């Protein structure tokens, strides 16, 4: 093999390694940006915290595997939530109980600056909000949580496999119902 061929082959390998590193960096960046959002969404689907944590990791492993195969993803954030949605429903179906995760199990009000009275009032407000959210349909709740994660209507539609106009209608109904309930 000539030195030119060897140099060309080494350059090709270096470019492949750089591309693989770039892919890893891209997925790592998306992981850092969206991991907590995916985790909270999986909790909202009724997964227990350990399952939601594993599910979030699985979503990003699938993202890496898909990109490594050379598949193009136009909107990675929407793709991530679509995979999280499907995976979350599959995991939830395998759970022994159908009871959704109780938000009070995790200490969500850990603000040490609140006095005991303020802490109690905040805890009661959070409980009223949680009960109000439970009155929504599954589709309304999913649309609302994805919207709160910053997804736009077309992205929510893609994640849930429904039309963007259906997303708008589910959100309209959810907000109307929540406005009727005193939170």
pLDDT given at position 108: 46
Q: Which residues contact 52 (CB under 8 A, 6 or more apart)?
A: 39, 42, 43, 88, 101
When divided into structural domains, the chain yields a total of 2
Residue 80's domain comprises: 1-97
72: left (phi > 0), else alpha (psi -120 to 50), else beta? beta
Residue 22 — pLDDT band, cuts 50, 70, 90? confident
How far is CA 164 from each of CA 45, 143, 152, 154, 176, rounded to the nearest angstrom?
20, 10, 9, 5, 18
pLDDT given at position 106: 42
User: Is residue 80 domain-shared with residue 127, that is, in the same domain?
Assistant: no
pLDDT given at position 96: 55
Residue 8 — pLDDT band, cuts 50, 70, 90? very low
pLDDT given at position 183: 62
User: Is residue 85 domain-shared with residue 122, that is, in the same domain?
Assistant: no
Q: What are the backbone dihedrals phi and psi of residue 154, each rounded to the nearest 5 degrees, phi first? A: -65, -35
User: Is residue 37 domain-shared with residue 120, that is, in the same domain?
Assistant: no
User: Is residue 42 domain-shared with residue 124, that is, in the same domain?
Assistant: no
First to last CA, the chain: 76
User: Is residue 4 domain-shared with residue 83, that is, in the same domain?
Assistant: yes
pLDDT given at position 46: 85
DSSP 151: -
User: Is residue 88 domain-shared with residue 129, that is, in the same domain?
Assistant: no
pLDDT at position 64 over 90 = yes
pLDDT at position 4 over 70 = no
Burial of 179 (C-beta count, 10 Å sphere; 0-12/13-18/19+): exposed
User: Is residue 2 domain-shared with residue 34, that is, in the same domain?
Assistant: yes
Q: What are the backbone dihedrals phi and psi of residue 95, each rounded to the nearest 5 degrees, phi first? A: -65, 150
Residue 119 sits in a domain of what CATH number? Answer: 1.10.10.10
121 within a domain of the structure (yes/no): yes
pLDDT given at position 112: 57
109 within a domain of the structure (yes/no): no
104 within a domain of the structure (yes/no): no
Cα–Cα distance measured from residue 30 to residue 34, given in angstroms and rounded to the nearest whole number? 6
- Per-residue pLDDT reduced to its tens digit, 132-183: 888 889 899 999 989 988 889 999 998 899 999 999 999 999 998 888 876 6
Pinpoint the alpha helices (H) of 45-151.
Answer: 49-68, 76-94, 116-134, 138-148
146 within a domain of the structure (yes/no): yes
- Per-residue pLDDT reduced to its tens digit, 78-135: 999 999 999 999 988 887 554 454 544 444 445 556 678 887 788 888 788 788 888 8
């Amino acid at each position: 093999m000539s030195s030119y061929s060897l140099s060309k082959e080494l350059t090709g390998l270096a470019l492949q390694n750089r591309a693989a590193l770039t892919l890893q960096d891209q997925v790592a960046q998306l992981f850092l940006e969206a991991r907590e959002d995916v985790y909270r969404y999986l909790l909202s689907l009724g997964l227990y915290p350990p399952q939601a944590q594993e599910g979030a990791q699985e979503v990003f492993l699938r993202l890496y595997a898909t990109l490594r195969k050379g598949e193009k993803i136009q909107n990675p954030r929407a793709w991530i939530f679509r995979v999280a949605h499907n995976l979350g429903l599959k995991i939830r179906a395998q759970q022994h109980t159908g009871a959704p995760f109780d938000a009070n199990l995790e200490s969500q009000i850990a603000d040490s600056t609140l006095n005991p009275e303020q802490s109690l009032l905040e805890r009661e407000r959070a409980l009223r909000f949680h009960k109000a959210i439970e009155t929504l349909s599954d589709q309304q709740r999913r649309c609302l949580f994805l919207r709160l994660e910053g997804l736009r209507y077309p992205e929510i539609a893609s994640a849930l496999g429904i039309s963007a106009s259906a997303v708008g209608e589910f959100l309209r109904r959810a907000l109307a119902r929540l406005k009727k309930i005193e939170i």
